Amino acid sequence: MYPNDSADSQESLLLEQLQALLDDETECLKSGRMAELQRIATEKMRCFADIQSRMGPARQPSKNASDDAHLRNLLNDIMRKNQLNGQIISALERFNQGAWEIFFGAQPSTYSDLGTAKSSAERHLIGSA
């Protein structure tokens, strides 16, 4: 067993854990279980940090080409799943923004950024003539 074999197996376990978290995230996004997303996002960031600390720029390839191929395939799958989840989140954000504009209009806000009320000429309240 080579010294890198132990590190490779730890990296592989972390990548598989990250892959499972991304699968859970996808299922939460598709099913609307948004309450679980915060926990998953926290675990995902911790996992990303662990992987980043282990896979530095000085990482040497293992002596086993199939292990390297397995890690590369895991990384490609993780990148694809993370991109898909990002696309789902972007679509949900656009949907929510559209719903917000339908319900509340795209009118300027009643209050300024400082929390003071704007003049009636600067705002338009729902139902006003």
User: What is the end-to-end Cα distance of the chain in Å, rounded?
Assistant: 80
pLDDT in tens, 56-114: 665 565 667 777 788 889 999 999 999 999 999 999 888 888 888 778 776 656 666 67
Query: With 0-12 CB in 10 A as exposed, 13-18 as middle and 19+ as buried, what is 21?
Result: buried
Q: Find out whether 14 and 50 touch, Cβ atoms under 8 Å.
A: yes
Domain ranges of the chain: 7-57+65-95
* 109: number of Cβ within 10 Å: 10
Indicate the pTM of the whole model: 0.67
Closest CA relative to residue 71, chosen from 28, 13, 22: 13
